[in-house]
Every structure is written in C-alpha cells, then in structure tokens.
Amino acid sequence: MSAWLSMWWMIFRVSLSEKLVYRVDFMLGTLMRFLPIITHILLWTAVLAAGDGEPIGGYDRNHFVAYYLLVTISRAFSSMPGLAAGITEEIRDGAIKKYLIQPVDLIGYLLLKRIAHKLVYYLMAFLPFALIFFLGHEYFDGWPEPSILCAYGVSLLFAFCIGFFMEATLGLIGFWWLEVSSLLFIYMLITFFFSGHMFPLEILPAWLRPVFDYLPFQYLAYFPAALFLEKMDPAQMTWGLWVGGFWSVFFFLTSRIAFTLGVRRYSGFGG
Amino acid sequence: MTLTIDVQNLTKTYRVHQKKEGLKAALIGLGKRTYHEVPAVQGIDLQVHQGEFVAFLGPNGAGKTTTLKLLSGVINPTAGHATVLGHIPWKRENAYRRRFALVMGQKNQLWWDLPAQESFRLHQKIYRIETEQFDRSLNELIDVLDVSKLLKQPVRELSLGERMKMELIAALLHSPDILFLDEPTIGLDVVAQHNIQQFLRHYQQTRKITVLLTSHYMKDITALCKRVVIIAKGRIHYDGSLKGITDQFGGYKILTVQFADDIESPPDLSKYGTVQSIQPPQVTIQVPRAEVASVLSHVLNQHDIADVSVEDPPLENMIAEVFSLAAEEENAS
C-alpha cells in the first residue's frame, strides 16, 4: 500500500514540476480566462436593461453576476483543456506505448497529472479570484449555510470527476477513430449551452428543464453555481447530488471500458 | 539454459483503411470504406534462451517491430501463442511489466521538459525499486555512460546521443531480465553509435540478460549479436549464427587483385567471375566459392601480382540477397 501511495505521490510531484516549467505561459492563460466573465456581465446587464430590469428566469442583475462568478469556479473544476485531444494524439503518434509497457495505470496516471495541473491553476488563479470575488461580494446575498457549502464542495468534486472521465472517454475513442476533433467540437458546443456555461438553465423552456436534470452536462457548471445561490430546494439538491454522483461513476466506468477495449484493438502506430 | 521467450505460430494482421486519391473517392469513403488486411507477422516460431543477444534483421515493414510490440504486450496478436518469462505479454500483468524494458530509438519515454533525474525517480517508484538498489544501479549506469553532468539538464536540451543514453538508463534502472531494443542507434553519429554498442555489450555480458535487438546498422549487429533472425514479409527466413549467413547465403567470395606494374588497363579477369570494379592497378571480382582456389592459382601463375586478398562478401549484401529471395518466394506463393 505504501509503495502504491509513494508511486502516485511521485507521479503527482513530477506532474507538478512539469506544470511549473512554463509558468509565465500558464499564468497568462489563467488570467485570460477571466475575460469572458466581463463580457457575460455586460451582455446580461444590457439584456436586463432592455426589459426594464425585470428578472429573467428568476435572475436579476446581481444574481446574473454572482452566477457567472460561480460558473467560473465550476469550470475551474470541470474543464479539462487538452485532455481528450492529448490522449488521441498520444494514441495516433504511438507515445501511449510508454504507458502500456510500464506497470502503471494510464487513467490513474492522467488523473494525477490533471490534479497537479488543476492545483497549479488554482495557485495561479487564487489571487485574481479573491480580488474579483471581493470586488463583487455585493452581488451575493451572503454566505449560504454550512450544509449547503458542504454540498457545494461535493458538487465541485463531481464536476471535476464528470469532466475528467467524460473527456478521458472521448479521448480514448481515438483507439477507434484516431482523430476526435469533430467529436470534441460537438462536445464543446453541447457543454457550452447545456452545462449552464452560457446562461442559467432556468432560462430554458419549463418543459425542457427536467431533461437536463438527468443529463450529465449541468453538473459541469450550472448545478454547483445554482446550489450555492440556493436556487433549489433541499430535495432537488439531494437529487442533483445523487445524479452527479451517478454520472461520475458512469464516466469512470466508460473510461475504463474504452481503455480496456481500445488497447485490445490498438495497432501500436508510429514505429 | 532457461527458455525465456517461446513463440509459437504468432500472427498479427493489421486491418488498414484504403483511401483512394481524389475528392470523389473521399466523399464515397464517408459512406463506404474499404479495408485490406496487412499480414505483418505470419505464424512465426521462435525460442530464445536466457542470456542470448539476438538480432532481428529485415527490411522496413518486415515485421520486426511488430514482433517486439507483441512480445512487450503493446499490441494483441491475431493468432498464435507466446510466453515471455512465463507470462503472456498481452495480458499486461504488472509482474511481467516489471521484468522487461522496451527502448525505441524513435520514441522518447522521458519527461521532455524535466531533467532526466526526475524521470529516473519516477521510474524508481513505478517499478518499486528499493532506494539502495536504485542508487547503486543509477550510479553504475551514470558512470558507464558518462552522463553525470547531464542529469539536471531538461531532456529537450540534450543531444540525440545523450538522450538515448538517458533512455537506456531509465530502461535499465529496474534491472530487467529482458531488454527489447528497437533501433536504439537510429540517427546517431558514429561515435555515439559506438558508445551505445560498447555499453550494450558490456551490460549484457555482465548481467547475462536476454536482449532482442532490431537495427538497420550492420555494425550494431556484428558488434553485439551472435544469433541473427532474418525476418521478411512477416516470416522468419533465417535463424542462426552470423557466420551461418555467410555459409548459407554467401555463395561467392570477393577477390581483389593488385597488379605489380602501374598499368593503365589491367588484364580482363571476367573469365574468372563477375568483375565488380576496375581501379588500376586493382581489379575486384566476384568468384563462386568453390572456384576460388583454382581462380587464385590461375591469376597468380599468369600475371605479375603485387597483392591479392580473398574476402567474404559484405554482410549487408548477403542479407539484401536473403531479403530479395524472401520477396521472390512471397510473390511466387
């Protein structure tokens, strides 16, 4: 057990060192991610002004701003830049061979690399996040109760798991397709609209909302933000956490199945 | 000697998409794709014992690398059976993966942006090497390969030769019982090639490990391997000693005659064999092995000779001959 932990700890440390090599690029990339928040806030301020400030989907200006700030945090957990494309590229150029010959689990290895990536990101983004939330604290109704904060933490963990394992599964489809950029484009488009990244899902027609409760996408961005803003009753919150947990396990399993089946048909490209 | 690798009727067939040229074909390909099957390895049998250093020779696409990929568990076979150190490679059991190493000359297995030392530490944990053994192995490998000053340099800043040394260190840290080497000296200059060859010979002789090597460089083969397996079109066409290739396929010898006088046009020797080159006062001819003695006697009796040498044809030529024979056989069948 200790040898196992020691190995994963070393993989994590090496991944962390690697992420810190190009720190200036990483820092700039991190800061640039805050720009879309400003665009969203300006857009929805204009939309609300056009409707004489009437709330849309139960969201007034303050709630819109708070929502977008919280969605930025959700996405800091659920977005996995380069994960699926990276896996497919390694399959295509044969670099994946090194994971197949070493006594190490590929998905676990990628997971730890990603956790290291996220930690460096949080380290870099902490001050900008703190500053923005400090400047925007008036848009919030105050801190939610501790139980909701706990549920919020769990929902962020699920956002990370769903995001990671879903993208890993897409990347592993590369064993069959070799190129998944179109698939990733569709995935990005779907998540852009249906995860709540673009707008709060309450804006969608009432008949469509229940469908989203069952799909995995809203657990990537909308659900944690709406939970923090107390946009749902306790029953909905508990139900949402169960569904988020289900999708985390589901995509964990799909990634493992895709890997097991994919390796069987792998041709060992690239010499 | 213990049987380390036992391969029986191993077969690997790739299914390859056939894409015709042009936009129309590309559009048709959206709906209906045509595939054809490429037999990369066709029912090979191979037994390798512990401590053997075996060379896999063959033209590009012969099935050498595919065989190494099968034996290292990177790919699954289409048919056949293989055990390596008692394990079925494509089950990818950790117990097996801890006992072999695969080094590919064209692939980098180290972390590109980090010093090699960090990759070595990671290997220590992945392969669960005791710290004492790790330090001992690492120091020994660093000394022999003379890379102590390069350990803290990011891998991306190393030369190709230096990188290959680091790859070898990473591959050998866990003291594998079997080493698969796929063109380890590809792209290296002659000095770097020589250094790697020296190291591999020393390491294999001291540790008595089993090594399977593929290479296009004859110098690698002659410097390192006693046993050669020639593979072409996925089938084994020769399995034996290096010298055996000469006996089996070298049906002629190269006779180089240097005439005594500085003559502009040496006498015509084509009646004795195939003239290969004329560089006055020297003529090189290819003579059937059985006729060497009589040709030599004739030439020495009838001409004023300053020097003469009889050599086996270059190994490359004989192997090329085996390749073309294999291709002819394959086409005929």
- Domain extent for A143: 2-265
Q: Which helix (H) or strand (E) holds B69?
A: helix B64-71
pLDDT digits (tens, 9 = 90+) for A45-69: 888 888 777 888 888 888 888 998 9
pLDDT digits (tens, 9 = 90+) for A117-166: 888 888 888 888 888 888 888 888 888 999 999 999 999 999 999 999 99
CATH architecture of B251-311: 2-Layer Sandwich (3.30)
Find chain A residues with C-beta within 8 A of B107's C-beta: 94-95, 97-98, 270-271
Sign of torsion, CA A171 A173 A175 A178?
Answer: negative
Mean pLDDT of chain A: 89
Q: What is the pLDDT of residue A222?
A: 95
Q: What is the pLDDT of residue A245?
A: 97
Q: What is the pLDDT of residue B303?
A: 82
- Give the rounded percent of residues in chain A with a pLDDT score beyond 70: 98
- Residue positions counted in chain B: 333
| Contact yes or no for B121 and A14 at CB 8 A | yes
| Contact yes or no for B128 and A7 at CB 8 A | yes
Each residue's pLDDT, cut to its tens digit, for chain B (333 residues) gives 799 999 999 999 988 777 777 777 767 766 777 778 888 999 999 999 999 999 998 888 889 999 999 999 999 999 999 999 999 999 999 999 999 999 988 777 888 889 999 999 999 999 999 999 999 999 999 998 889 999 999 999 999 889 999 999 999 999 999 999 998 888 888 888 888 899 999 999 999 999 999 988 888 888 889 899 999 889 998 999 988 887 777 778 899 988 886 666 788 888 888 888 888 888 899 898 888 899 888 888 888 888 889 988 888 888 888 888 877 877 776
Find chain A residues with C-beta within 8 A of B128's C-beta: 3, 7
Find chain B residues with C-beta within 8 A of A104's C-beta: 126
| Contact yes or no for B114 and A21 at CB 8 A | yes
Domain parsing of chain B, residue ranges:
3-247, 251-311
Q: Is the peptide bond before B281 cis (omega within 30 degrees of 0)?
A: yes
Angle between helices A106-135 and A83-93 (to 10 degrees): 150
Nearest to A98 by CA among B111, B176, B246: B111
| Contact yes or no for B94 and A103 at CB 8 A | yes
| Contact yes or no for A14 and B118 at CB 8 A | yes
* Rounded distance between C-alpha atoms, residue B20 and residue A182, angstroms: 22
Based on the structure, what is the number of domains in chain A?
1
Q: What is the pLDDT of residue B29?
A: 67
- How near does any CA of chain A get to the CA of B214, in Å? 12
- Tokens read off for A67: 């929502």
Half-sphere exposure of B55 (CA within 13 A, CB side): 28
Does the pLDDT of residue A218 top 60, yes or no?
Answer: yes
DSSP assignment of B178-247: EEEEESTTTT--HHHHHHHHHHHHHHHHHH--EEEEE-S-HHHHHHH-SEEEEEETTEEEEEEEHHHHHH
Q: What is the pLDDT of residue B27?
A: 72
pLDDT digits (tens, 9 = 90+) for A85-116: 999 999 988 889 989 999 999 999 999 889 98
**CATH T-level topology, domain B3-247:** Rossmann fold (3.40.50)
Taking the complete model, does pTM exceed 0.95, yes or no?
no
A183 located within any domain = yes
